């Protein structure tokens, strides 16, 4: 909002913004930021006039750029092979090796792994419950719930990993 929307539209009444202005803003923004930042900014700006329309403060939403709220993955991610995973794991300090393996075998994000607690692990059921995630900002670590409701979930621990998790 502060970096991408307010500099252009901060002093403009929502009801007076035109589709042409939105298209020009989007084109200029996409030239100076990455596709993900552009998509996030467009998604946000689109919600503002939606609210104004709902509240009957504007007649229409000027945001009509098809697909602008979505971005394509910049590069295809190739998972590590079993050999590469072994090399990566062995290169880590011993107390962090389980984190690498949980990330790889349970598809957990770094922030989710960093906030796991013993109470999140159910060895009888063979599951890990994801309830929190940590992100790092200039102000230090910030612990929150995962980004979406779907992020709070139970994840099966592969049987070959249960002894390592138990240890």
- 3-state helix, strand, coil split of the chain in percent (to 5) is 50, 10, 40
Q: Any idea of the CA torsion for 25, 30, 31, 34, to the nearest 10 degrees?
A: 150
pLDDT for 71 beyond 80: no
Q: pTM above 0.75?
A: no
pLDDT for 19 beyond 90: yes
Per-residue model confidence as pLDDT tens digits over 113-149 = 999 999 999 999 999 999 999 988 888 999 998 877 8
Q: In 3D, which of 76, 74, 67 has the Cα closest to residue 35?
A: 74
Least confident range from 110-114, 149-153, 160-164: namely 149-153
């Amino acid at each position: 909002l502060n970096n991408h929307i307010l500099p252009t539209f901060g002093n403009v009444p929502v009801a007076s913004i035109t589709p042409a202005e939105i298209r020009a803003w989007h084109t200029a923004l996409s030239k100076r930021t990455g596709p993900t930042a552009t998509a996030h900014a467009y998604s946000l700006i689109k919600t503002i006039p939606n609210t104004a329309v709902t509240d009957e403060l504007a007649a229409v939403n000027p945001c009509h750029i098809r697909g602008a709220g979505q971005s394509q993955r910049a590069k295809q991610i190739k998972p590590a092979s079993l050999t590469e995973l072994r090399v990566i794991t062995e290169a880590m300090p011993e107390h962090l090796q389980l984190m690498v393996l949980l990330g790889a075998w349970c598809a957990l994000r770094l922030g989710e792994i960093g906030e796991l607690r013993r109470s999140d692990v159910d060895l009888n059921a063979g599951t890990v419950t994801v309830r929190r995630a940590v992100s790092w900002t200039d102000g230090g670590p910030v612990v929150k719930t995962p980004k979406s409701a779907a992020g709070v979930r139970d994840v099966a621990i592969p049987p070959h990993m249960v002894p390592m998790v138990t240890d």
